[in-house]
Structure 1
Amino acid sequence: MDQILEMFLNIGIRDIIDMTIVAFVFYKLFMLIRETRAEQLIKGLLILLMATKLSEWAKLYVIHYLLKNTMTLGVFAILIVFQPELRRALEYLGRSKILSKSIVELADEQLDLKTKEITDAVASLSRQKIGALIILEGNIGINDVIETGTLIEGKISSSLLINIFIPNTPLHDGAVVIRRDKIMAAGCFLPLSENPNLSKELGTRHRAGLGITEISDAIAIIVSEETGAISIAREGKLSRFLDIDTLGRIIKSSCKQDSEYALIKLKWRQKND
């Protein structure tokens, strides 16, 4: 008890800063892996670590030897198994807006027009119960996805978006990818979500929308073919049954953040050229 009391009395400002930073880093790591496959794997590793310690205390030498060597190999296994999550973490650090925040991006009128064209198209598709999957690219490029579809590079318009998703047309089955103020491609193939906790009532379209947001900072807008319900996927999480006004606010907010970051990168390059 005296040792614990002495330890607390010897804690200084630097120790508090040190512990705060560590706690913040662990919190951010937890938020990145929450409700993903990595969360289940980490639970398994913690159980394995506890079993290793218990076998050491209980002097079960054979079990301890096997578990200890398994843990050693586990370090290399983590790098392989957690590859998608590690990539997400590094991408998160890479796009953090630490350098600046005083920036302007697409003109407000331009952003309003882009939002209106997308929401008008989604509203029409929803009313007609026509399935749709629209991806708004973020700061992480998804050229590999764009290359799987048919290149369009056209101006964003509600009529074009509606026509793409009309049933029995060549491109209606894939996803449309929008980059800034252009429809880049249609009929694109997306990676399916690997989240084991997803509801079984979600179909391939919703799983594909979630999948692209698990490996990038893109936003996926999904219209259900069965119900016409509008959903949006961000950062591997799905929000369902949205109204058009809410969808418009999310699109605007996302586009502003992405444009700010793009301008930061442009200014940074100009400064270093």
Structure 2
Amino acid sequence: MPFADFELWKYLASIVDIALVWYVIYKLINVIRGTKAVQLLKGILVILLVRVVSEFLGFQTLSWMMEQAITYGFLAIIIIFQPELRRALEQLGRGKFFSRSSNPDEENPEKTVEAIIKATDYMAKRRIGALISIERETGMGDYIETGIQLNSNISSELLINIFIPNTPLHDGAVIIQRNNVAAAACYLPLSESPFISKELGTRHRAALGISEVTDSVTIIVSEETGHISLTKNGELHRAIKTEQLKELLTSELFTNMKTKQASSARWNWRGKNNG
């Protein structure tokens, strides 16, 4: 092989190598995007930034501490990111790792709000207990796996039938993901806050618990009183009216939708404008 051809081959191989690395990084970002791993990655970036600044300013003790954290951080990352790594390996085994990511434009918040309002109003009047959690930016895959996966289009009729007493799926939470009923009979973490009223039951504690560890919005229908409540960001809004629930859901879901569309636009490299 002539020397010139050999150099050209090395140049092309380097380009392909870099492109493949960037593609794998892009897919990994898609896997962890919307999960708790995003917040953990931010923490790692803070440690790296502190390490650089402390080295620059000559803070030897702080620099040594950050160096130790980075040195032994690889093992910690494997332990901390275990659920995300497992999910990535599962997707790789199923051939989904290189599949097309979901498009936020396909989501329909109006349909979700309408179905939830109609279902909760029906169940509240009949004092049918219900617990409905809506995934937002923080992924809820770990909690979805604790229940019975449905992956069904959302409708008020489906939600009502799930929570009818003495049916197989009524005990537990329904998790809504990307305008679909992802799973039912899911287990949510109970809040351990000492400030929760003693008169609140397991559903309210579970709704508060999931709102403390994710940014989800969760709706509760009390079977004792028929009151509708909502939790978000560790806060409980009790005994709200249907109109208030609609306003809260519309505000939260449409804000989340705009955020996702902006994020998606940044990853599209302005292809439509240039093409």
Pairwise TM-score range, normalised by the shorter structure: 0.5 to 0.7
Which of 162, 172, 175 is 1:174 aligned to?
A: 172
Greater RCO, 1 or 2 (C-alpha within 8 Å, sep 6+): 1
Which of 166, 190, 193 is 2:191 aligned to?
A: 193
User: Cα–Cα, structure 1 residues 199 and 242, in superposed 2: closer, same or farther, change >3 Å?
Assistant: same
TM-score, with length taken from structure 1: 0.59
Name structure 2 gaps, 5 residues minimum: 1-79, 81-103
- Residue 243 of structure 2: aligned partner: 245
User: Cα–Cα, structure 1 residues 251 and 106, in superposed 2: closer, same or farther, change >3 Å?
Assistant: farther
In the alignment, the residues of structure 2 paired with residue 248 and residue 198 of structure 1 have an alpha-carbon distance, to the nearest angstrom, of 25
In the alignment, the residues of structure 2 paired with residue 128 and residue 258 of structure 1 have an alpha-carbon distance, to the nearest angstrom, of 31
User: Cα–Cα, structure 1 residues 199 and 176, in superposed 2: closer, same or farther, change >3 Å?
Assistant: same
CA contact (8 A) 2:172 2:185 kept: yes
CA shift digits 1:207-262 (9 cap, x unpaired): 00000000010011000010110000010010111111110111111111111221
Secondary structure at 2:112 match in 1: helix
- How far residue 118 of structure 1 moved from its aligned partner, in angstroms, is 0.8
CA contact (8 A) 1:139 1:261 kept: no
- Residue 75 of structure 1: aligned partner: none
In the alignment, the residues of structure 2 paired with residue 106 and residue 211 of structure 1 have an alpha-carbon distance, to the nearest angstrom, of 30
- Residue 117 of structure 2: aligned partner: 119
Q: Percent identity?
A: 44
User: Cα–Cα, structure 1 residues 140 and 272, in superposed 2: closer, same or farther, change >3 Å?
Assistant: farther
CA contact (8 A) 2:148 2:185 kept: yes
- How far residue 107 of structure 1 moved from its aligned partner, in angstroms, is 8.6
Which of 253, 256, 267 is 2:254 aligned to?
A: 256
- How far residue 106 of structure 1 moved from its aligned partner, in angstroms, is 5.7
In the alignment, the residues of structure 2 paired with residue 114 and residue 191 of structure 1 have an alpha-carbon distance, to the nearest angstrom, of 24
CA contact (8 A) 1:106 1:256 kept: no
- Residue 153 of structure 1: aligned partner: 151
How do 1:207-226 and structure 2 match up within 5 A? 207-226=205-224
The alignment yields a C-alpha RMSD, in angstroms, of: 2.3
Name structure 1 gaps, 5 residues minimum: 1-86, 88-104
- How far residue 263 of structure 1 moved from its aligned partner, in angstroms, is 1.6
TM-score, with length taken from structure 2: 0.58
